[in-house]
Structures are given as structure tokens and as C-alpha cells.
Amino acid sequence: DAGITQSPRHKVTETGTPVTLRCHQTENHRYMYWYRQDPGHGLRLIHYSYGVKDTDKGEVSDGYSVSRSKTEDFLLTLESATSSQTSVYFCAISEGLADTQYFGPGTRLTVL
Amino acid sequence: QQQVKQSPQSLIVQKGGISIINCAYENTAFDYFPWYQQFPGKGPALLIAIRPDVSEKKEGRFTISFNKSAKQFSLHIMDSQPGDSATYFCAASIRGATNKLIFGTGTLLAVQP
């Protein structure tokens, strides 16, 4: 998976609890992305980063925040998880914004 | 103008048949069209990509056909096999620009033995 790891791979949590997902890359790519994938919706971009401390919103950013303190790490935080955030979350990386994206293995999050 | 419309949403093909997935776009500035393949429980992975300076690109049993005038591109899987059963995403972007890669909504392909 192009030197991309995600942790945890599976998580079950309760409504209202904070959750942080981690994406780690060893490719030194500038751009990193968080997507969620739900049946019938394909891949929807949550947030992306174009450098350390530089992030921007995607199409479904409400309820999510991100941080990137190092080139290799991109964190996705659900401040107060809701059942609608039950999904599979994918991290991706790319050299340029319009370049091929390489995806991590995904994190399956269940919010009860 | 930034959308990429993908069809069909799902597809069932018999082993040995041809699978065809279509994508259409509006932004004529798009100049990079990759296809991704995603197996259950895995992340999407780049399968094949094309630039609009060619009308067709073939890699093994997978072919991208590109129709610039119609603003459409398609993925053809020849001699489809059960191992090809996966979700396929098309995408488009403008290389070197400040626009992100735009994904289609995906096609779930099932190849029956």
C-alpha cells in the first residue's frame, strides 16, 4: 500500500466520545487526504493537507478536524462521534494535488 | 463542471465476458484519467491511467478507451474473471494544477463463474 499505514484498523466506540485516526506515510509525499467511504456514496473527501500545518476542507468536513504536525503523519479527529460517522475511512497521499493518489488499507469505525 | 459521472452503479458479468464501465465529464481542461480498483476490505489501488493525447491504452486484459469529443472514457475488462470482482472508480484531474483528483461514484463488478 505504497508505504501508508492507518491505525487503528478497526474501532468500535460510543456516541459522544472523541476518536482519533492516524495515517502514517513513508513516501515523503506533500499531500495527504482523508476520505470516508459509504455504500452508494463512493469516496467522499473529508479534509486534506498540503504541508505541515496546512490543511483544507473537503466536501464532508462537518464534525471532523485534522492536524499535521509532521510530514509523515496526518490525524483525523472526531470530536464527538455520532452514529452517522460510522464508515470506512481511507487515508491517501500524492506528490501533487492533481496527481495519482495512493491509498492506505482503511479504518473501519463503528459508532454505537 | 468538476463532476465525473460513472455508470453503471453495479454490473454482473459472466466469466469470460467483457465488462464495460463508463465515465463522463464536463471540464474540458481535465487531462489525466486514472482508474482505481478496490477489493473488499482493501484500499483503492491505481489500475490504469490515460492522457487525452491517445484514444486507447491497454494493459493486459484492461483497456481504457477515451473519446475526447464526447467527453467520455471507459474501462473495458476483456475475458472477465471472478478475481476481477471488485469496485472500480474512475477519476479525472488537471495535472500540475491546483485542483484535486475528482472521483466517480464507483461501480461494483461481480463476475460470475
Q: What is the mean pLDDT of residues A9-27?
A: 97
The pLDDT of A17-44, averaged and rounded, is 93
Q: State residue A96's pLDDT score.
A: 82
Considering only CA atoms, which of B86, B73, B76, B87 is closest in space to residue B32? Answer: B73
**Which CA distances in Å does B111 have to A26, B6, B81?**
35, 19, 6
User: What is the reported pLDDT for A14?
Assistant: 97
Average pLDDT over residues A71-80: 97
Closest residue on chain A to B87 (Cα): A42
Residue of A nearest to B95 (CA): A98
Q: Positive or negative, the Cα torsion across A57, A59, A65, A66? A: negative
B29 has a chain A CB within 8 A of its CB: no
CB-based contact A105 B101, cutoff 8 Å: no
Q: Which residues of chain B form beta strands (DSSP E)?
A: 4-7, 10-14, 19-25, 33-38, 45-50, 56-59, 62-67, 72-77, 86-92, 102-103, 107-112
Report d(CA A22, CA A107) in Å as an integer: 9
For residue A82, give the 3-state DSSP assignment: coil
- Give the pLDDT score at B42: 92
Chain B hits for A55, Cβ within 8 Å: none
Instruction: Give whole-number Cα distances, A18 to A14, A77, A109, A111, in Å.
Output: 9, 7, 12, 11
Grid coordinates of A42: 463512493
Q: Which residue has the higher pLDDT, A42 or A12?
A: A12
pLDDT of residue A1: 53
- pLDDT at site B98: 64
Give the confidence band of A41 by pLDDT, cuts at 50, 70, 90. Answer: confident
Asked whether residue A111 carries a pLDDT value surpassing 90, the answer given is: yes
pLDDT less than 50: residues of chain B: none
Contact of A41 with chain B, judged by CB distance below 8 Å, is answered with yes
Which range among A58-67, A77-86, A89-98 shows the weakest confidence by mean pLDDT? A89-98
In the three-class reduction of DSSP (H, G, I as helix; E, B as strand; rest coil), residue A73 is classed as: strand
Q: Where are the alpha helices (DSSP H) in chain B?
A: none
Instruction: Chain B: give the shortest CA distance to residue A103, in Å.
Output: 6
Contact between A97 and B105 using a beta-carbon 8 Å cutoff = no
Q: Name residue, grid cell 468538476.
A: B2
Radius of gyration of chain B (CA): 14
Instruction: Provide, as residue numbers in chain B, all residues whose Cβ is less than 8 Å from the Cβ of A98.
Output: 32, 93-101
- The per-residue DSSP string of A9-53 comes to SEEEE-TT--EEEEEEESS--SEEEEEEEETTTEEEEEEEEEETT
The confidence score (pLDDT) of residue B2 equals 66
pLDDT at A2: 63
CA–CA distance, A76 with A105 (Å, rounded to integer): 15
Task: Tell me how far apart the 2 most distant CA atoms of chain A are, in Å.
Answer: 37
Chain B residue with Cα closest to A105: B43
